[in-house]
Structure 1
């Protein structure tokens, strides 16, 4: 007799082009249909989601993350999922935990929660131990910090590392060819903690030695205007392109030679994996969540966060020693293929879902 497919409700919140949502989409896209029936609750699902699971499996509520209005939405959401209760709820980010855990209680359904960073220690984040079956972190460092902060049982918190698909060899672009100007790029939400102002200051330093180099920032966010203003002040606007409103970064990786991750704090770092999978030499801030991805000097280069001089020096070295840059890109791609495949991430999540549903009863806590 065939095993019944798991009826799984993903709570995504508002879709944005950032690592945690790309991770969610990767899992949804790769979960086998015969094993999992997927439904999604989202404020603004991307078009590609309907292509995968069908529009009837998506509940759209634009007010999910709007204070006050989200409380009204919660009543309709409860009614929707009481009619056809899922086996398990997967809350894809801590910002949706309050709504997701409340729904779990009201329809008496277990849930899992994904943590891409550490919740603030302000008492506002509280796990419902009656219905929470697992908390998934994206790295060992986040798991350990979270356990130290909360004192929760170790068996409740698991690590499922990010994973990405590997582009075909024939789809890769040559790195630092001699017949065109080098392009140095970065990608992600345009926010202060992404360190993009330091990227621009490093760009100014690079242009003093390599005036033909071009720079690319791909992404949208509240810092776009201030970044354009800073580029004007630094007199580098003619060498800089900012590309907002993208649905993914695959084409960006085909346009650049060196990838920079100038972030100031920990996070999921999925964008770093994608750049390395595309064979790009990477230079990244040495922050939590990166050291287990980048072997400094082998699969990439690490620099002190916010250190503009060190960042520009490392980029200068790669521009001068192009063979070394290409070798770093090749080894980085091999490292991702061996350790960070999307298929492995999805298999780990499916195993957790199946383990949880072997005993689908609330705990006595």
Structure 2
């Protein structure tokens, strides 16, 4: 079957779950034999990391949704490259690159929706792309309710690579903790909606009666300094360990006993998937796409967002019950292996592209027959 030629566009200059998923998808599709390139602003982290992975990266400023200069440049890239698929990801590039794709007569234009936020422009889902990918059923249902035709949007879950075996984590040595310590891990950018404040409030009373309980916080962000100062003021710096940005996330997770992320908003939750793939029981909030990952009482526990008391109770339950942690962890492993792998994500994406291209060809053939 013919290999596909795919151009991804991304106007975001930062680095988060959306960009991580896109780069994983690019790498996976290339491994399947498809040709993949990227267009993004020159200062985008996504561009630098894609170049480091060996991808051809084109630069366009994409400063707004009405950046005509960038639109013409992307149109030229599409025409020269004769791409089969243009896949856009953020609001500005979905407008700019989407219009470029239409003018270049790109056979299939796809918009991926990564976020669980209200959409600001229905045109970036209905007018420019031919098809839409949603990263969770929650996001798909929302898009349909907002006016995207049901037959144009499909859920493709995020996938991760199966973690390499780690015989022994270095985390406990790093923190000076022995095997009796129970460590709850959290991996998230430090901003308000990830729930770090609720986590600190939830574990504070637990730590009085449970001297073996510790928390390992992985991540940086705008709230890092404030949270660090808060933890120091509470006298908990020796119990709540702020590890900052880490490249060895799996090593950290392997040293933990459970994972907790009391997020207020999450389209799906890549951090949950990574923790589940390491065999950790998980505690999450009953918001957006999170319940599609966590089956309450089967592979983890769900609590209402911003409910400190419920969060504290859930953490205590797992801290105090090692057999329950083991049972939930085994269920997490089974769930990720069967639903959330990069191979599954890549194969579903290629199938989605091929079906979209076939539908576009059939539609063009019908119009030709009608006009003949």
TMscore range, shorter length: 0.7 to 0.9
Counterpart CA distance in 1 for 2:348 and 2:283 is 29
Alignment match, 1:142 = 139
Alignment-derived partner of residue 150 in structure 2: 154
Alpha-carbon distance change, 221 to 347 in structure 1, aligned in 2, over 3 angstroms: same
User: For residues 298 and 113 of structure 1, what CA distance do their matches in structure 2 show?
Assistant: 34
CA distance in structure 2 between the aligned counterparts of 1:270 and 1:257, rounded to whole angstroms: 18
> For residues 263 and 226 of structure 1, what CA distance do their matches in structure 2 show?
18
Describe how 1:155-194 pairs up with structure 2 within 5 A: 155-168=151-164, 171=167, 179-194=179-194
1:92 equivalent in structure 2: 89
8 Å CA contact retained: 1:197, 1:230? no
Q: Give the 5 Å matches for 1:208-247.
A: 208-246=208-246
Q: Give the match for residue 295 of structure 2.
A: 295
Indicate the RMSD between aligned Cα atoms, in angstroms: 3.0
**Partner of 1:200 in structure 2?**
200
| CA–CA distance in structure 2, aligned partners of residues 120 and 159 of structure 1 | 17
Alpha-carbon distance, 1:68 to partner: 9.2
CA 1:244–1:291 in structure 2 vs 1: closer, same or farther (change >3 Å)?
Answer: same
> Where in structure 1 are there 5+ consecutive unaligned residues?
none
1:41-190 equivalent positions in 2, closer than 5 A: 41-42=39-40, 43-45=44-46, 49-52=50-53, 54-55=54-55, 57-61=56-60, 63-64=61-62, 66-67=63-64, 72-94=69-91, 96-109=93-106, 110-120=108-118, 124-127=121-124, 129=126, 131-150=128-147, 152-168=148-164, 171=167, 179-190=179-190
> Deviation at 1:41?
1.6
CA positional deviation for 1:97: 1.8
Report the CA distance shift for 1:359/1:34 in structure 2 as closer, same or farther (over 3 A): same
* Contact map agreement 2:278 2:333 (CA 8 A) in 1: yes
What's the counterpart of residue 21 of structure 2?
23
Q: Distance in 1 between matches of 2:113 and 2:278?
A: 26
Cα distance between partner residues in 2 of 1:325 and 1:226: 32
Number of equivalent positions: 356
Q: Deviations over 1:253-304 (max 9, x none)?
A: 2232211111012312111111101101111111121222212122111111
Please state how far the C-alpha of 1:334 moved relative to its aligned partner. 1.1
Q: Is the counterpart of residue 38 in structure 1 residue 36 in structure 2?
A: yes
State the distance in 1 between where 2:248 and 2:351 align: 28
Is residue 11 of structure 2 the alignment partner of residue 13 of structure 1? yes
Structure with the higher helix share, 1 or 2: 2
Q: How far apart, CA to CA, are the structure 1 residues paired with 2:199 and 2:93? A: 31
Map of 2:370 onto structure 1: none
- Counting only pairs closer than 5 Å after superposition, residues 261-300 of structure 1 correspond to structure 2 as 261-300=261-300
Change in Cα spacing, 1:32 to 1:46, as seen in structure 2 (3 Å) is closer
- Displacement of 1:73 after TM fit? 4.1
What SS does the aligned partner of 2:344 have? helix
- Deviation of the 1:166 alpha carbon: 2.4
Higher relative contact order (CA 8 A, sep 6+): 1
Contact 1:206 1:312 in 2 (8 A): yes
- C-alpha distance in 2, partners of 1:163/1:202? 30
Q: Deviations over 1:138-177 (max 9, x none)?
A: 2222211211122x32111111122222225565769999
Shift of 1:37: 0.3
Question: Residue 296 and residue 118 in structure 1: after superposition, are their counterparts in 2 closer, same or farther (change >3 A)?
Answer: closer
Distance (Å, rounded) in 2 between the aligned partners of 1:172 and 1:326:
17
TM-score (norm 2): 0.84
- Cα distance between partner residues in 2 of 1:73 and 1:211: 57
Q: Report the TM-score when normalising by structure 1.
A: 0.86
Shift of 1:119: 4.8
Q: Which stretch has the larger CA shift, 249-258 or 321-330?
A: 249-258
